[in-house]
């Protein structure tokens, strides 16, 4: 090793995909976040080391599509790990496909065996049931419909009516009657969903406590009759979710429960833009809606990311 190479930071990651949507688990080599609570460590990551987020996920090392999952020690004894989810533009409260990816990655590493485990996230504790080395059920944080029948005028499109709901992230969910939710239409669907988001923001329509609605979920009838619904979900950094979106499926089920269209225990098969499916259920505990989703993830790579101090793009390409 040359003297220069000893200056290289190295970060160990495992890449997986869940129903087509990638997750990059960061396992070691990251900055010291101290020994505080998960909230404190996430704040440190955000304020002192945000460049690492870009460096790990954005081009040229990653892409806008990848969701990062920083796997940390939990600060509650009943959780096997804590995780901070992040993307090309910032941080996520929860991530359903990402949690399935984390569980399959931990199983791949021999850190968990089939059965029930708990994971700490910035928005609460989630339960994972590792059903096999690739299949996982996640019981999410509680979900709820916050506003119903919100009208939004979308320039060049007309008025859309949707619900605002929390599923671990904030969603605006609306029925779509334009171009089919097909891969060939993702550019148009992206622009349409982006305009809806801009209108929500311009009109001050938010989630609870003024939280920004940063996920837009369009839905139509499914392509496969075995499923209940098909969706297209636009994520905060303008990448679309290749999976049916775990937090989006949770928000959707909360809306259905609120509308009396789904009963606790009923199955909900959510089809995404690739045709992949999350199987959902809801249970009610002390009045709270607890959604669970089941899906499959596959490990694709075990890698060491190398940060050469002389690489002009070691911290990612800044837009
Ligand atoms: O599965 O919850 C999810 C998710 C959020 C953003 C991308 N995937």
Taking only the tens place, the pLDDT of each residue in 169-198 is 999 999 999 999 999 999 999 999 999 999
Give the max Cα distance, the chain. Answer: 66
Q: Which residue spans within the chain are E strands per DSSP? A: 9-18, 21-28, 67-72, 81-86, 91-92, 115-121, 124-130, 135-139, 144-154, 158-166, 170-175, 215-220, 229-234, 268-271, 277-285, 288-307
> CA 295, 184, 252 angle in degrees (round to 5)?
40
Task: Ligand 1: list residues with CB < 6 Å.
Answer: 21, 67, 95-97, 235, 241, 243, 245-247
Question: Which member of 25, 58, 95, 174 is catalytic?
Answer: 95
> For a pocket test of ligand 1, which of 92, 217, 292 has the largest count of ligand atoms closer than 8 A to its C-beta?
92
Q: Model pTM?
A: 0.97
**Mapping DSSP to helix (H, G, I), strand (E, B) and coil, where does residue 290 land?**
strand
> CA 319, 185, 253 angle in degrees (round to 5)?
90
Would you give the DSSP letter of residue 103? H
Is the Cβ–Cβ distance between 70 and 144 less than 8 Å? no
User: Which pLDDT tens digit goes with each residue over 101-112?
Assistant: 999 999 999 999
* Length reported for the chain: 319
User: Does the annotation mark 25 as catalytic?
Assistant: no
Q: How many CB atoms lie within 10 A of CB 259?
A: 11
Q: Whose CA is nearest to atom 8 of ligand 1?
A: 245
Per the rule left: phi > 0, alpha: psi between -120 and 50, beta: everything else, 238 is: left
> For a pocket test of ligand 1, which of 95, 236, 250 has the largest count of ligand atoms closer than 8 A to its C-beta?
95
Task: Determine the Cα–Cα distance for residues 184 and 20; give it in Å rounded to an integer.
Answer: 16
User: Does the annotation mark 245 as catalytic?
Assistant: yes
Is the Cβ–Cβ distance between 95 and 245 less than 8 Å? no
User: Which pLDDT tens digit goes with each residue over 58-109?
Assistant: 999 999 999 999 999 999 999 999 999 999 999 999 999 999 999 999 999 9
């Amino acid at each position: 090793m040359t003297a220069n190479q000893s200056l290289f930071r190295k970060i160990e990651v495992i890449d997986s995909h869940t129903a087509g949507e990638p997750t990059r688990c960061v396992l070691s080599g990251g900055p010291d976040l101290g020994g505080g609570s998960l909230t404190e460590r996430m704040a440190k990551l955000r304020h002192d080391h945000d460049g690492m987020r870009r460096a790990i996920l954005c081009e040229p090392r990653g892409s806008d599509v990848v969701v990062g999952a920083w796997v940390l020690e939990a600060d509650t004894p009943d959780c096997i790990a804590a995780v901070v989810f992040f993307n090309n533009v910032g941080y996520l409260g929860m991530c359903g496909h990402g949690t399935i990816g984390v569980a399959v990655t931990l199983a791949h590493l021999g850190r968990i065996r089939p059965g029930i485990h708990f994971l700490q996230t910035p928005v609460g504790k989630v339960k994972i049931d590792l059903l096999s080395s690739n299949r996982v059920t996640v019981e999410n944080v509680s979900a709820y419909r916050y506003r119903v029948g919100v009208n939004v005028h979308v320039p060049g499109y007309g008025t859309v009516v949707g619900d605002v709901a929390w599923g671990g992230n904030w969603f605006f969910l609306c029925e779509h009657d334009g171009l089919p939710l097909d891969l060939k239409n993702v550019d148009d669907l992206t622009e349409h969903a982006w305009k809806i988001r801009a209108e929500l923001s311009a009109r001050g329509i938010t989630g609870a406590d003024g939280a920004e609605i940063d996920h837009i979920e369009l839905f139509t009838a499914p392509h496969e009759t075995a499923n209940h619904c098909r969706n297209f979900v636009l994520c905060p950094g303008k990448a679309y979710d290749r999976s049916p979106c775990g937090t989006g499926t949770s928000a959707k089920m909360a809306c259905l429960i609120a509308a009396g269209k789904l009963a606790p225990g009923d199955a909900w098969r959510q089809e995404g833009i690739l045709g992949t499916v999350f199987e959902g259920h809801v249970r009610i505990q002390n009045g709270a809606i607890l959604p669970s989703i089941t899906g499959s993830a596959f490990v694709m790579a075990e890698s060491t990311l190398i940060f050469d101090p002389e690489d002009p793009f070691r911290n990612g390409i800044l837009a």
